[in-house]
Amino acid sequence: MERIKTGIIGCGNISGIYLKNLTQLFEVTEVVACADIVRERAIRSAEEFGIPKACTVEELISDPDIDIVVNLTTPGVHAEINLAAIKSGKSVYCEKPLAITREDGLNTLDAAEKRGVLLGAAPDTFLGAGLQTCRKIIDDGLIGKTIAATAFMLCHGHESWHPDPAFYYKTGGGPMFDMGPYYLTALISLMGPVSRVTGSANITFDERKITSQPKYGEIIKVDVPTHVAGILDFSNGAVATIITSFDVWHSQLPRIEIYGSEGSLMVPDPNTFGGPVYLRRHDQKEWTQVPLTHLYSENSRGLGVADMAYSILKGRENRASGKLAYHVLDIMHGFHDASQEGKHINLKSTCKRPEALGEGVLEG
């Protein structure tokens, strides 16, 4: 099998699982270089995962042998790195969000289209066994026409465990931009694009005290909403409610539920790849756990990169596409805009519902 040469930029917290999967799980990717602004981190990653070259960001982007750049940097530099890699003729897969501003997101989409390269972004969890099983249930008509959904992500923030949590409370952070992409991407993959949103957002605590190491005791000034409640009107007529919060100590709300004309579906945590999946049709007295119909139930981050690599080989559109990621970005800004302006926001963006994975896909 032809392998697509891949380079990783950003060797921080999230990089380990990408490096493991892209070097050990997926047959179609060959990681040939990694880079980080802290060179020692790149060197450690290269040694740990047997990557031939640890280099600077500039060296990786200019390497003519690399076909895909995987951008795992912090959100504030996503657009800069994406645009530089695209200019160099690379396809780019970026950690979420695609960019911080709509303008940067659109510029990235436009640049990729003009250069003739693929653009994609996390999350790729919707390609995992859990959400693909839910997709099959919906596509098979087991809950009828989708009419509504609820989605909830409530916690008390990251300052108690993350080693450097400040960026979660700065522009490009907050619960909606941090965790919203998982929930919104899952909903779009199951129900299609969104046409209109509204919402309310608030900063509950102006400051946060870090209680994790190594920055214990430092104070973070909060610059972005930390509790966001939104309503989504889908193009297919369904209506969904979403709440993301860093202000809630405890909650028992479900992650995602989809409601149809013939039944209801309990969707697993969209920040994971597995189950459980529960179904209850209109004529059933109990919820039934549905066996997973697809592979990739473990942490398979990088699945979207592998899909992009196959897209390059086969000349098709990648599923975790740039257009999907930009639509998610537009929706998230829409919630904040609606809260500030006191009105519904008609979205200018849209995207295709990503193609489902076939049940016969083999692991790796």
pLDDT tens, position by position, 159-196: 999 988 998 999 889 999 999 999 999 999 999 999 99
> Quick one: pLDDT band at residue 360, thresholds 50, 70, 90?
confident
Task: For residues 110 and 149, state if they share a domain.
Answer: no
Task: For residues 279 and 138, state if they share a domain.
Answer: yes
CATH number at residue 109: 3.40.50.720
Q: What is the pLDDT of residue 54?
A: 97
Q: What is the pLDDT of residues 88-106, one digit of tens each?
A: 999 999 999 999 999 999 9
User: Is residue 351 one of the residues assigned to a domain?
Assistant: no
User: Is residue 33 one of the residues assigned to a domain?
Assistant: yes
The residue out of 121, 142, 166 marking a domain boundary is: 121
Find the mean pLDDT for residues 305-312.
Answer: 98
User: Is residue 13 one of the residues assigned to a domain?
Assistant: yes
User: Is residue 253 one of the residues assigned to a domain?
Assistant: yes
User: Is residue 185 one of the residues assigned to a domain?
Assistant: yes
Q: What is the pLDDT of residues 273-308, one digit of tens each?
A: 999 999 999 999 999 999 999 999 999 999 999 999
Q: What is the pLDDT of residue 362?
A: 77
Task: For residues 170 and 241, state if they share a domain.
Answer: yes
Q: What is the pLDDT of residues 115-169, one digit of tens each?
A: 999 999 999 999 999 999 999 999 999 999 999 999 999 999 999 999 889 989 9
Task: For residues 106 and 134, state if they share a domain.
Answer: no
Task: For residues 38 and 93, state if they share a domain.
Answer: yes
The residue out of 69, 102, 121 marking a domain boundary is: 121
Find the mean pLDDT for residues 108-115.
Answer: 98
Q: Is the pLDDT of residue 344 over 90?
A: yes
Task: For residues 182 and 198, state if they share a domain.
Answer: yes
Task: For residues 54 and 161, state if they share a domain.
Answer: no
Enter the tokens of residue 248.
Answer: 């809630």
pTM of the model: 0.96
- Which residue range(s) make up the domain with 40? 4-121
User: Is residue 359 one of the residues assigned to a domain?
Assistant: no
Task: For residues 94 and 202, state if they share a domain.
Answer: no
CATH number at residue 225: 3.30.360.10
% of the chain surpassing 70 pLDDT: 100
- Say if residues 237 and 146 touch (Cβ distance below 8 Å): no
What is the full DSSP assignment across 215-274?
STT-EEE--S-SEEEEEEEETTS-EEEEEEESS-S-----SEEEEESSEEEEEPPTTSS-
Task: For residues 212 and 248, state if they share a domain.
Answer: yes
Phi, psi dihedrals of residue 24, rounded to the nearest 5°: -120, -30
Task: For residues 73 and 190, state if they share a domain.
Answer: no
Q: What is the pLDDT of residues 32-90, one digit of tens each?
A: 999 999 999 999 999 999 999 999 999 999 999 999 999 999 899 999 999 999 999 99
Task: For residues 28 and 71, state if they share a domain.
Answer: yes
Domain count, the chain: 2
Task: For residues 93 and 180, state if they share a domain.
Answer: no
C-alpha 141, offset from chain centre: 26
User: Is residue 314 one of the residues assigned to a domain?
Assistant: no
Structure-token match 């692991």, residue found: 363
CB atoms within 10 A of CB 271: 14
Q: Is the pLDDT of residue 364 over 90?
A: no
Q: Is the pLDDT of residue 357 over 80?
A: yes
> Quick one: pLDDT band at residue 359, thresholds 50, 70, 90?
confident
Q: What is the pLDDT of residue 154?
A: 97
User: Is residue 237 one of the residues assigned to a domain?
Assistant: yes
Report the mean per-residue pLDDT for the chain. Answer: 96
